[in-house]
Structure 1
Amino acid sequence: MKVEKIIKNKKQFLDLLLLADEQENMIDRYLPSGDLFALYDDDLKSVCVVVPINSETCELKNIATYEKYQSKGYGRALINFISDFYRNDFKTMLVGTGEVSRILAFYESCGFEKSHRVRNFFIDNYDHPIFDDDIQLVDMIYLKKDLQEQQGCSLQGIFEQI
């Protein structure tokens, strides 16, 4: 496995980013200013975008794994990598998601804990109803992770910037 930080042509990963955020103009709000990481294990498996919020906090805005590679540990590996990557720069990482038990449980298993809720986020910011696991998303549920408590990640040694 290797992780690459993508500097140019970030939109080439749009098909994968759209799996996690299905409205392109929402991705356009954070992709230009965000750091895009791609995880490869022979071929591309997962991507994520992280943006700084302030001097102490960054936010994981998008993380997506191709469906045929889901539940194989690639998303978790990418979260471990970025947690380690940012731990000297930020104290806290946020991630926002819909109120879907499976997804909340995944983030909690990666060391995140529930933080706060933004009411009607999906209704107010998307031009159509958003569903996940047949559940209409309404509120954004934010989780947070203390990056200072993280241990080193084995992927750090195979990081490339392109």
Structure 2
Amino acid sequence: MKFIEIKENKKSYLDLLLLADEQEDMIDRYLDRGKMYVINDDGVKCECVVTDEENGVLEIKNLATNPKYQGEGYAKAMIDFICQKYRHNYSILQVGTGDSPLTVPFYEKCGFIRSHVVANFFTDNYDHPIYEAGVQLVDMVYLRREI
């Protein structure tokens, strides 16, 4: 398993990015200012984009695993890599996600705790309803963990 920083042509990973954030103009808001990493394990299995949110906070803006390889530990390995890489520069790793029965428990298993909620984030910022596990996402839930 090899972790690679992607510095150019980040949009060439758009299919994977759209798994975590299904509206391209939302991805465009953070992709250029973020650091992007992929896991290559006989092909790209997972990607992550993180941004500096200041005051010692690093944010996961996009984390996605190729559906064929979900459940095999790639996203957890990516989070562990990000924490190890940035532990001297940041004190908090945070993520904003929909209040989904799939996503929130995953982050909680990775050591994140709920921080705050941005009400109506998905209905106010996306041009179509967003669904995950049959649930319409409305609010953005922020979770945090110490690095």
Scaled to the shorter chain, the TM-score interval is over 0.9
**Larger helix proportion of the pair:** 1
| CA-to-aligned-CA distance 1:54-109 (integer Å, 9 cap, x gap) | 03101000000010100000010011100111111111011011111221111011
The one-letter code sitting in structure 2 at the alignment partner of 1:138 is V
Runs (5+) with no aligned partner, structure 1: 148-162
Amino acid at match of 1:97: T
Q: Taking every aligned residue pair, what percent have the same amino acid on both sides? A: 52
Q: Which residue of structure 2 lines up, in the alignment, with residue 70 of structure 1?
A: 70
C-alpha separation in 2, matches of 1:86 and 1:113 = 19
Whether the 8 Å contact between 2:113 and 2:143 is mirrored in structure 1 is yes
SS of the aligned residue for 1:78 comes to helix
Instruction: Report the residue type matching 1:129 in the other structure.
Output: P
The residue aligned with 1:9 is 9
Per the alignment, residue 117 of structure 2 pairs with: 117
Does 1:79 pair with 2:76?
Answer: no
Taking structure 2 as the reference length, the TM-score comes to: 0.98
Corresponding letter in the other structure for 2:43? D
Equivalent pair of 2:101/2:133 in contact (CA under 8 Å): no
Q: Secondary structure at the match of 1:115?
A: strand
TM-score, normalised relative to structure 1 = 0.89
Do the aligned partners of 2:48 and 2:64 also contact (CA within 8 Å) in 1?
yes
